[in-house]
Amino acid sequence: MSQHVVIIGAVALGPKAACRLKRVQPDARVTMIDAQKIISYGGCGIPYLVSGDVSDPKQLRTTSFHALRDEAFFKQAKGVDVLSETTVLKIDRKKKTVLVQEKNAEPREISYDKLVLATGSRPRTLPIPGVDLPGCLPVSTMTDAMTIRDMVTKGAVSKAVIVGAGFIGLEMAEALSDMWGIETSVIEVADQVLPGVVSKNIAHMAQQHLKDKEVTLCLAEMVTAIEGEGKVQRVITTKRTIEADLVILAAGVLPNSELAKDAGLTVSSSTGGIMVNKTMQTSDPNIYSGGDCVAIENLVTGKPGLFPLGSMANRQGRVIGTNLAGGRDTFPGAVGSLSIKIFDMGVAGTGLTLKRAQTEGFDAISAQVIQFDHAHFYPEKTLISLELVVEKGTGRVLGIQGISENLEGLAARIDAVAAILKYKPTVQDISNLELAYSPPFSAAMDVLNAVANVADNILGGRNRPISSSEFAALWENRKSNNLIVLDCRDRDNAEKFLAKHPDFWMNIPSETVQEHVDQVPKDKQVVLLCNTGGRSYEAQIKLDKAGVTNTVNLQGGWGNLRIWGLDPTTEE
């Protein structure tokens, strides 16, 4: 007799596992259970549903050929039984049953041969008074999304506050501000947006862009209360009070692992995710799990981690489907690739940030470069700013992050590194990484190769770097820091800066620096600057050779600094 597979959860991983199983083993009997009525939807599309980019909520529930993925579709097209609006109360591993509670019915037991836990995640709740007020909600379900969209389209929202500047928070900020013209503030407890995802330096570039788009950012700030009469009216933080008709809670997600834990399955103590092996089996060989509710190996740190992404769920679901059918597919783990569009900019990364690498115990540095995406002589081109995180000594590459208006061009570089991160590549592997080259696609020495070359030069002691953030801190107190900027560009580039800050700015083009070594002050902190960090690096080498070593090189030069948001020619 054919096996019966029960799948708990029918959003992303559940349906994928079910359909894959049925394709490999058409005889299998599959029952998929979900507490909600709406199943099998693209949760990652919710911000775009709120913005109106996705006009009809059904678009998140249809196949690419416009079939609605409801219960009838799964029965007819896929041969999968669905029990929607049904809660699983308990798993009995000995009896191999689940106790389910259907709508308007008595609880009943369902037997399984194999069980799949696709229970997903839930928004992290905040212990703040007032979170239950109407108008304060997360954006984790289609219902949430439609509630917000209804409020917005009815004109009921003129001011919104978003709690959390992670992916969902920033996507929602764009959705509300850009598409609906709502005055939007984002409150984040960390001192940067996208904490843990990009460095402070890249985050600052994104922050500058958000400010340009009139999103108010309140960083290093905590919400202490949400207040209002019968509905949300204001948000109280550790620093201020902000009026709001809508408060969106986007402080991350937590894995739904309680059912697994109650059944005695192993759950990761560090992350709360259900533990699975490489075949996506839990500690019970008859039970598989994947998606937002599991902890899988972070292939850079070797530790269990949470990777709550639809892309993970889909790929893991396929592996589970294959294995349910008697195959032996594996999911090796994850490196943590991420991307987000913020208005006109893309931010993406993979692996560890510098800070995270250091927290994990790596003796790490980062290299930063800004360069055009295409050959510099090619007429159409856009800047890409990259930061490569590298372990000292071994030269092992631990991660990369970047920001650019060329979203796909940025993704090309990040994805190439994501692909090899599990093989523990070194800086040399990235220096020689063979991107598909021709002038409309990349540069002969691509920005990705270049950032590895810079890392190599930093590791080799030839390049003493300083980041835009570090420079900004020095510049703010330039007098007490005894600072001078040595501008290594041509006179016409340096002119405006010299005029504005004659005491803190000097100009010697890199090509002639060896002839003007005497002019370089030996008693000051000298920051070398050019447009990208390349010419100033050459100047540093020449000065070092001449015995002048009190210099640091501004990584990504004026190119990065401008995006970062510090313009010495306009500020006072």
Give the Cα separation of 142 and 124 in Å (integer).
Answer: 17
Q: Kindly tell me which of 152 and 296 has the beta carbon lying closer to a copy of itself.
A: 296
Give the Cα separation of 253 and 312 in Å (integer).
Answer: 15
Residue the block writes with tokens 């039984």: 81
Q: In whole angstroms, how close is the CB of 228 to a copy of itself at the nearest point? A: 32
Give the Cα separation of 83 and 10 in Å (integer).
Answer: 9
Residue the block writes with tokens 């202490």: 224
Residue 30 contacts residue 21 (beta carbons within 8 Å) = yes
Q: Kindly tell me which of 86 and 141 has the beta carbon lying closer to a copy of itself.
A: 141
Residue 555 contacts residue 543 (beta carbons within 8 Å) = no
Q: How far is CA 303 from the centre of its chain?
A: 19
Q: Kindly tell me which of 223 and 296 has the beta carbon lying closer to a copy of itself.
A: 296
Q: In whole angstroms, how close is the CB of 439 to a copy of itself at the nearest point? A: 5
Q: In whole angstroms, how close is the CB of 178 to a copy of itself at the nearest point? A: 13
**How far separated are the first and last CA of the chain, in Å rounded?**
80
SS3 318: helix
Q: In whole angstroms, how close is the CB of 319 to a copy of itself at the nearest point? A: 8
Give the Cα separation of 141 and 36 in Å (integer).
Answer: 10
Beta-strand relationship, 505-507 and 483-487: parallel
DSSP 125: P
> How would you class 55 by CB atoms within 10 Å of its CB: exposed for 0-12, middle for 13-18, buried for 19 or more?
exposed
Beta-strand relationship, 234-237 and 241-243: antiparallel
Where in the sequence numbering do the catalytic residues fall? 44
Give the Cα separation of 474 and 486 in Å (integer).
Answer: 14
CA distances from 544 to 450, 474, 513 (A): 22, 22, 11
Q: Kindly tell me which of 439 and 565 has the beta carbon lying closer to a copy of itself.
A: 439
Q: In whole angstroms, how close is the CB of 505 to a copy of itself at the nearest point? A: 18
Q: Kindly tell me which of 153 and 512 has the beta carbon lying closer to a copy of itself.
A: 512
Q: Kindly tell me which of 76 and 224 has the beta carbon lying closer to a copy of itself.
A: 76
Q: In whole angstroms, how close is the CB of 28 to a copy of itself at the nearest point? A: 12
